[in-house]
């Protein structure tokens, strides 16, 4: 090696950083990896200053050997179930109306193409996490990219996005309760009931405990959509369906596209999920299981319900069946409406909690301060989400707003920039 440059066996040279070698993926065997990681970490710390050094580069959960509260406890299949429960929840309920708005063929093309891209961008998030192991949330990503300003901007955007999704779950709960009871007792009252239930389910701090609820969530949404498909197949056998729709305005078609993006918009929580896996290298298995499930279900549910309902399909789709069937479907769907909201709330609250207590004993101990802070955080978030749900009482409109503001960026744009940055810094993005 001369001046930090090593030549390969065929005489070609690889790029070097601080006197060490790296391939385009940054995979360097042996001691060079650790040497370069140390050098780059020191350089990053110098760039952002000592003020931000500790929260950026310490593992948020620390050494859990003797911890009372352990976070890194999930197996990959538990992570997959949480991702499925988080992703396949509200988004799937708007997809039949998307096909009614833009047509069967464009809808299927968008479902397949956006799902494929979402799979790839999910994997780039995993690669970014491997390159920067201390990253726990989008705020940490923002700090890596833009320093302290990026941390605050990305952290605020992540929290706002998650709270809006929490609001969408409250709104769906009120719609479900109105459908089940047969009358609108008071949407505000049902919203308050939903907040209380969701608050209680969000009390556990670790995702592993939520993962068991995720199994019930998946069974719930699968059963609800099966009931709906059977119901509409019996009651509405011959509607008019269109391969393409020529009367749709640009704004309406764009809103439909954002609803598809919303259905794949689970990426905002992926960093948190990877951080709580026993073995983060298993994340690709969880990602592939998620994408196989959601793309298959989205295509089948959207096409079948649109086939039997046509242009008159409702959104959420559970309301497309007869009155009795719709009540049954909404009742069966209640677990997924609630549990998926709990997952988003856990991720949002965990970001704030980690910001407050990163590097302190309160991360790993059940102290009065840690418990009281967690309760206060989740209660505040759910109250704000309830206000949003009451302010925007139309399901599709709220989903479109959420997607336009954040989901497209978090799902398709941010991961690409992170990947480019990791390449630029020659970070190792493959498991070592």
Q: What is the pLDDT of residue 396?
A: 62
Residue 269: pLDDT above 60? Answer: yes
Residue 55: pLDDT above 50? Answer: no
Q: What is the pLDDT of residue 422?
A: 67
CA–CA gap between residue 127 and residue 118 (Å, rounded) = 14
Q: What is the pLDDT of residue 176?
A: 86
Q: What is the pLDDT of residue 244?
A: 62
Residue 56: pLDDT above 80? Answer: no
3-state secondary structure of 21: strand
Residue 117: pLDDT above 90? Answer: yes
Residue 374: pLDDT above 50? Answer: yes
CA–CA gap between residue 99 and residue 209 (Å, rounded) = 37
Burial of 54 (0-12, 13-18, 19+ CB in 10 A): exposed
Q: At 15, is the pLDDT very low, low, confident or very high (cuts 50, 70, 90)?
A: very low
Residue 39: pLDDT above 50? Answer: no
Q: What is the pLDDT of residue 389?
A: 86
Q: What is the pLDDT of residues 414-429, one digit of tens each?
A: 777 766 776 666 666 6
Mean pLDDT of the chain: 79
Residue pair 41/57 in contact (Cβ under 8 Å)? The answer is yes
Q: What is the pLDDT of residue 319?
A: 80
Q: What is the CATH number of domain 56-424?
A: 1.10.4160.10
Q: What is the pLDDT of residue 428?
A: 61
- How large is the average pLDDT for residues 393-422? 73
Comparing 7-16, 37-46, 179-188, 211-220, the range with the smallest average pLDDT is 7-16
Comparing 89-98, 103-112, 422-431, the range with the smallest average pLDDT is 422-431
Residue 120: pLDDT above 80? Answer: yes
Q: At 384, is the pLDDT very low, low, confident or very high (cuts 50, 70, 90)?
A: very high
- How large is the average pLDDT for residues 257-263? 88
Q: At 250, is the pLDDT very low, low, confident or very high (cuts 50, 70, 90)?
A: confident
Q: What is the pLDDT of residue 57?
A: 45
Residue 95: pLDDT above 70? Answer: yes
Which range, 90-99, 184-193, 238-247, 335-344, has the best average confidence (pLDDT)?
A: 335-344
First to last CA, the chain: 23
Tokens of 239: 């509607």
Alpha-carbon separation of residue 297 from 84, 88, 97, 226 (angstroms): 11, 9, 15, 10
The share of the chain scoring above pLDDT 90, in percent, equals 28
Q: For tokens 């190792």, name the residue.
A: 428
Phi/psi for 5 (5° steps) reads: -120, 135
More confident of the two residues 33 and 267: 267
- How large is the average pLDDT for residues 17-28? 36
Comparing 64-68, 320-324, 332-336, the range with the smallest average pLDDT is 64-68
Q: At 348, is the pLDDT very low, low, confident or very high (cuts 50, 70, 90)?
A: very high
Q: What is the pLDDT of residue 3?
A: 47
Model confidence, pTM: 0.77
Q: Where are the beta strands (DSSP E) in 13-155?
A: 16-17, 20-21
Residue 360: pLDDT above 90? Answer: no
Q: For tokens 């710390």, name the residue.
A: 45
CA–CA gap between residue 207 and residue 379 (Å, rounded) = 18
Which residue ranges make up each domain of the chain? 1-48, 56-424
- How large is the average pLDDT for residues 142-162? 89
Which range, 282-296, 306-320, 328-342, has the best average confidence (pLDDT)?
A: 282-296
Alpha-carbon separation of residue 96 from 99, 241, 315 (angstroms): 5, 11, 8
């Amino acid at each position: 090696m001369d001046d930090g440059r090593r030549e390969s066996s065929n005489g070609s040279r690889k790029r070097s950083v601080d006197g060490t070698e790296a391939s385009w993926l940054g995979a360097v065997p042996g001691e060079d990896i650790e040497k370069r990681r140390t050098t780059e970490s020191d350089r990053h710390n110098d760039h952002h200053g000592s003020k931000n050094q500790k929260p950026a580069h310490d593992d948020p959960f620390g050494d859990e050997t003797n911890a009372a509260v352990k976070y890194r406890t999930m197996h990959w299949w538990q992570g997959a179930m949480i991702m499925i429960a988080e992703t396949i929840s509200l988004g799937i309920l708007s997809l039949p109306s998307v096909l009614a708005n833009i047509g069967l063929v464009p809808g299927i093309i968008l479902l397949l193409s956006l799902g494929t891209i979402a799979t790839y961008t999910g994997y780039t998030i995993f690669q970014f996490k491997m390159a920067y192991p201390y990253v726990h949330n989008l705020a940490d990503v923002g700090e890596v990219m833009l320093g302290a300003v990026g941390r605050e901007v990305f952290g605020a955007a992540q929290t706002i996005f998650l709270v809006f999704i929490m609001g969408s779950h409250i709104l769906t709960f009120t719609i479900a309760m109105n459908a089940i009871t047969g009358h609108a007792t008071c949407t505000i009252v049902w919203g308050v009931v939903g907040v209380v239930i969701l608050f209680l389910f969000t009390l556990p701090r670790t995702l592993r405990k939520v993962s068991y609820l995720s199994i019930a969530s998946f069974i719930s949404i699968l059963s609800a959509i099966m009931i709906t498909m059977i119901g509409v197949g019996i009651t509405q056998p011959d509607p008019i369906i269109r391969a393409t729709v020529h009367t749709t305005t640009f704004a309406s078609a764009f809103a439909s596209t954002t609803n598809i993006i919303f259905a794949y918009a689970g990426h905002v929580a992926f960093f948190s999920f990877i951080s709580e896996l026993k073995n983060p290298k298993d994340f690709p298995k969880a990602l592939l299981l998620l994408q196989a499930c959601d793309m298959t279900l989205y295509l089948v549910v959207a096409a079948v319900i649109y086939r039997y309902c046509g242009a008159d399909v409702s959104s959420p789709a559970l309301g497309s069946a007869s009155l009795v069937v719709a009540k049954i479907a909404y009742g069966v769907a209640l677990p997924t409406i609630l549990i998926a909201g709990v997952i988003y709330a856990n991720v949002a609250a965990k970001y704030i909690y980690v910001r407050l207590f990163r590097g302190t004993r309160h991360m790993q101990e059940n102290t009065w301060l840690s418990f009281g802070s967690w309760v206060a955080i989740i209660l505040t978030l759910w109250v704000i989400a309830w206000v949003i749900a009451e302010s925007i009482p139309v399901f599709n409109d709220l989903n479109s707003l959420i997607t336009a503001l954040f989901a497209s960026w978090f799902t398709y744009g941010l991961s690409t920039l992170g990947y480019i940055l990791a390449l630029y810094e020659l970070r190792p993005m493959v498991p070592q």
